[in-house]
Amino acid sequence: MNRPALDIKHLEMIAALADTPRVTEAAEKLRITPSALSHRIREVERRLEVPLFMRVRKRLRPTPAADYLAQVAKRLLGDMTRAENDVRKMAVGVRHVVRLAVESYSAYHWLPPFLRYLRDHEPDVGIEVVAAASKNPLSSLHERSVDLIVISGEVNRRGIELQSLFEDELVFIMPSGHRLAGKNHVEGSDIVGEDFITYTRIPEPDREYARLFRPSNSYPNWTETVEVPEAIVEMVAAGLGTSVLAGWAVETATDSGRIVAARVGRNGIRVPWYAATRTDEGNEDKPDLRVAGHLAKWCRQHGSLSGGK
């Protein structure tokens, strides 16, 4: 087998330059001098016999080859870091690590009680939460940066195995003392002109835009797009607007009285949630599949993820 031309230090340099095109900043990140960084760049280009960067006003402009290498470098460095962490966990009895992410949300009040449940049933399996995968969970699953995702709504099943977890109702959230706070449910006409904060402007077929706003031709005043639902809760609690979010994810805030929730539409909008894993062939007893099964059973016992808080 031929030995790779590049070492770990070269991959770290390529990844750093992808994030920081200024030589001085990249060198500082790598804890080397700018001249050492320039030497390392020339060394890589000499080994590969391919130009990787062009200098433009104290910045390095990557060539297509450098862009490609940066993607590979970040993936390999991430795999190496995860492998090292996994090996350390093996020393304390953890034989398998399942990397988990939750679509869009970073509400993990349910995780500690579920982990206690899981340790009773799978003591040699550890869980690692990959928060960065919440924005593109399906891509992260296919790319193997996560092993299990908690995802909602319509899901493309190609290459994915789904286990049903629970159904959850979307809720319209508002600050306490809001003019709609006493209503059991809100209609489209109720929210016309309301300052509205959303985590995505992309209409989804089973959510409030398609099921409430568009049919009634009633729209709120779209004021902010905030990609972190937990930040939306804080903004709503501070009186900066209203929103629609998953009921299980905001239950802690509603129970504390920091915000008020109402049903979205007279009949409500219910959304199914699933545990999704890859359909890898040749191994039916996969740790990620077992964890998904335990999570499904745990959710049935508690009603949803919120029930275990």
Task: For residue 290, give its domain range.
Answer: 96-309
Check whether residue 142 and residue 262 sit in a common domain: yes
Could you tell me the CATH number of the domain that includes residue 72? 1.10.10.10
Tens of pLDDT along 130-176?
887 787 888 888 888 899 999 998 787 788 999 999 999 999 999 99
Q: What is the DSSP letter of 209?
A: I
Please state, in angstroms and rounded to a whole number, the distance separating the CA atoms of residues 309 and 305: 8
| pLDDT higher than threshold 90 for residue 57 | no
Tokens at 117, concatenated = 């449940």
* pLDDT tier for residue 86 given thresholds of 50, 70 and 90: low
| Identity of the amino acid at 151 | I
Residue 263 lies in a domain: yes
Q: What is the mean pLDDT of residues 70-86?
A: 77
CA distance 111 to 55: 48
The model's confidence at residue 113, banded by pLDDT at 50, 70 and 90, is very high
CA distance 106 to 123: 25
Taking the mean position of all CA atoms in its chain, how far away is CA 52? 31
Work out the average pLDDT over 258-268: 93
Same-domain pairing of 100 and 59: no
- 3-state SS, residue 272: strand
Q: Are residues 170 and 124 in the same domain?
A: yes
68 and 106 share a domain? no
- The answer to whether residues 44 and 127 belong to one domain is no
For helices 8-19 and 34-48, give the axis angle rounded to 10 degrees: 110
Q: What is the pTM of this model?
A: 0.68
Distance CA 40, CA 26 (A): 12
Q: Are 110 and 306 in contact (CB under 8 A)?
A: yes
For residue 299, the model assigns a pLDDT of 93
Q: What is the rounded average pLDDT for all residues in the chain?
A: 85
| Residue 124 and residue 13 share a domain | no
Helices then strands (H, E): number in the chain? 11, 12
